[in-house]
Amino acid sequence: MNVEKVRGFMKENKIATFTILAYLVVLIYSPSLFLGGLKMTSIYFMEMLEILPAVFIVMGLVEVWVSRDTIMGIFGKGAGLKGRFASVLVGSFSAGPIYAAFPVCYTLLKKGSTVSNIVIILSAWAVVKIPMLIVEAQFMGLPFMFTRYIFTVPAIILIGMITGKVISKEYIVKNSSKEGLLVEKIDQELPGHNCGACGYQSCWETAKKIIDGEEDPSVCVPLDSENKDKIEELVREKHR
Amino acid sequence: MDVTTIGLIVLAVALLIWSTLKSKSKTKKSLKVAGNMFKGIAVEIISILALIGLFLTLVPPETIQMLLGDTSVGVATLISASFGTVTLIPAFVAFPLAASLVDAGAHLVSMAAFITTLTMVGFITAPIEIEYFGKKFTLVRNVLSFAAAILISLGMGLIL
């Protein structure tokens, strides 16, 4: 194997590298623990396979079909108290662990939701979703479940409001490695004539479409092959 | 599979059919977006799931049970909250575990903290959260959620 390649992989996939190393250490220390870990992981993996494809398909459809105005009306600045309840509701009817909520909330944020409503959805998704409440009532009893619910809903609305005060939407756009900076980088590689041959009004807009995976860099007519390679490299960077 | 998971899959399929009937090209676009989103975090999610699996094998629930054995409610609450912070366990595992801990003598207050931090605060999922929303957001949200978990459990302690 090529050393450079391995080093590149380690740099791009820090968590994966860490996980592999951890497993290797455990394998040397105790093969039975190693197998136990793998077995446990496979249970989680199956859970992920059940939920994530459906979540992503729904989000892909939302991204393409639902307009910014609609999302803004429900979860945006003007939605007020109604927006907070809508957020609790969306989180309550979700499925899957919190990591499935991150991409969903990110899409909603891009489409005009406020930061505080995103946090409310994330939290409700995590702690008061309906399947969870049902299991909870079964094992811990109805009074436990009910009291926890009564305390938790106001708490998550408060957490949302505070986070919304402390963190601006601009901060997230700037610091998310999912987009933001990448759009700027791609925009720099595009010719910058805003010629419109691709069907979009500006190169910036095209850059956003390319990052979203809705368009291929080849949509840009005057793009030379050197810049095209660079853009493709940036798109790959996004998927890391 | 629980009811909402099935509901979600049915919803996804129904929307997909509706979308295809309305516009094939838009449907293709949304599937492309979905695929890209998935590719974007697949490696990370799998790595993190593997880490959780390893952690729970190294520190099995029995160990936690032992740790919570004969400490005071306050200490037990902090231990449970911290354990919940580090790991991420699906509800169908977490609640039976919490119930067995209660049977073994754990206080309800500490179990409330355990369940809330378990699902809402995520040390181990923080890298994914940072990637989407940045470091400051992740820090603020997790710290607030941890504090809320403690407050919720204290409040429940007053009532239950």
Mean pLDDT of A190-197: 81
Q: How far is residue B26's CA from residue B48's CA, in Å, rounded to a whole number? A: 33
| Shared domain check, B11 and B64 | no
* Closest Cβ opposite residue B151 in set A61, A155, A213: A155
pLDDT band for position A184 (cuts 50, 70, 90):
low
pLDDT of residue A181: 57
- For residue A52 the two structure tokens come to 């994530």
* Residue B51 φ then ψ, to 5°: -65, -45
pLDDT per residue as tens digits for the range B122-156:
888 888 899 899 999 999 999 999 999 999 998 99
pLDDT band for position B90 (cuts 50, 70, 90):
low
Give contacts of A126 with chain B, Cβ < 8 Å. Answer: 119-120
Using the Cβ of A146 and the Cβ atoms of chain B, whether some distance falls under 8 Å is answered with no
Residue A121: CA atoms inside 13 Å, Cβ hemisphere, count?
27
Q: Residue A153: CB partners within 8 Å, gap ≥ 6?
A: A88, A124, A128
| Shared domain check, B118 and B133 | yes
pLDDT band for position B37 (cuts 50, 70, 90):
confident
- For residue B26 the two structure tokens come to 């838009």
pLDDT exceeds cutoff 90 at B83: no
CB within 8 Å: A127 and B141: no
pLDDT band for position A162 (cuts 50, 70, 90):
very high
Give contacts of B127 with chain A, Cβ < 8 Å. Answer: 14-15
Q: Where does a domain end: B22, B43, B58?
A: B58
pLDDT band for position A50 (cuts 50, 70, 90):
confident
Give contacts of A9 with chain B, Cβ < 8 Å. Answer: none
Q: Residue A157: CB partners within 8 Å, gap ≥ 6?
A: A84, A88, A120
Q: How far is residue A220's CA from residue A228's CA, in Å, rounded to a whole number? A: 9
Mean pLDDT: which of A3-17, A146-160, B55-69, B84-98 is highest?
A: A146-160
pLDDT exceeds cutoff 70 at B85: yes
Q: How many domains are contained in chain B?
A: 2
Q: Which of A64-78, A140-154, B22-36, B82-96 bottoms out in mean pLDDT, i.e. has the lowest?
A: B82-96
pLDDT of residue B70: 65
Residue B77 burial (CB count, 10 A): 25
A-B Cβ pairs (cutoff 8 Å, strict) = 272
pLDDT exceeds cutoff 90 at A205: no
Fold (topology level) of A181-238: 3-methyladenine DNA Glycosylase II; Chain A, domain 3 (1.10.15)
Higher pLDDT, A182 or B101: B101
Mean pLDDT of A102-108: 89
| Shared domain check, B149 and B103 | yes
Residue B153: CA atoms inside 13 Å, Cβ hemisphere, count?
25
Q: Where does a domain end: B41, B58, B75?
A: B58
CA distance A186 to chain B (A): 17
Q: What is the reported pTM?
A: 0.76
Instruction: Give Cα A46 distance to the centre of its chain.
Output: 20
Give contacts of A113 with chain B, Cβ < 8 Å. Answer: none
Q: Where does a domain end: B58, B84, B101?
A: B58
CA distance A124 to chain B (A): 9
Among the listed residues A140, A152, A136, A144, the one whose alpha carbon sits nearest the alpha carbon of residue B102:
A140
| Shared domain check, B67 and B92 | yes
- Select from A147, A173, A176 the residue whose CB has the most chain B CBs within 10 Å, as the one to mutate to test that interface: A147
| Shared domain check, B160 and B110 | yes
| Shared domain check, B71 and B13 | no
Which positions 68-107 of A are in contact with B (Cβ < 8 Å)? 93-99, 102-103, 105-107
Residues in chain B: 160
Q: Residue B120: CB partners within 8 Å, gap ≥ 6?
A: A98, A123, A126, A127, A156, B145, B148, B149
Q: How far is residue B8's CA from residue B90's CA, in Å, rounded to a whole number? A: 17
Mean pLDDT of chain B: 84
| Shared domain check, B93 and B156 | yes
- For residue A193 the two structure tokens come to 């004539």
| Shared domain check, B79 and B151 | yes
pLDDT exceeds cutoff 90 at B44: no
pLDDT of residue A1: 58
* Closest Cβ opposite residue A175 in set B45, B135, B140: B135
| Shared domain check, B144 and B80 | yes
Give the residue extent of every domain in chain A: 3-51, 66-175, 181-238
Mean pLDDT of chain A: 85
Expressed in angstroms, the distance from the first to the final Cα of chain A is 21
* Residue A232 φ then ψ, to 5°: -60, -35
Domain span including residue B129? 60-160
CB within 8 Å: B4 and A93: yes
CA distance B74 to chain A (A): 18
Give contacts of A59 with chain B, Cβ < 8 Å. Answer: 33-34, 37
Residue B89 burial (CB count, 10 A): 21
Please report, for chain B, how many H helices and E strands are present, in that order: 8, 0
- Select from B18, B49, B86 the residue whose CB has the most chain A CBs within 10 Å, as the one to mutate to test that interface: B49
Q: Tell me the longest C-alpha to C-alpha distance in chain B.
A: 63
pLDDT band for position A188 (cuts 50, 70, 90):
confident
Higher pLDDT, B49 or B25: B25
Give contacts of A155 with chain B, Cβ < 8 Å. Answer: 148, 151-152
What b-and-e string marks burial along A201-229, b requiring 16 or more CB atoms within 10 Å of the CB?
Answer: ebbbbbbbbbbbbbbebeebeebeeebbe
Q: How far is residue A236's CA from residue B122's CA, in Å, rounded to a whole number? A: 27
Tell me if B27 sits within 8 A of B20, measured CB to CB.
yes
Mean pLDDT of A3-32: 87
pLDDT of residue A211: 79
| Shared domain check, B83 and B29 | no
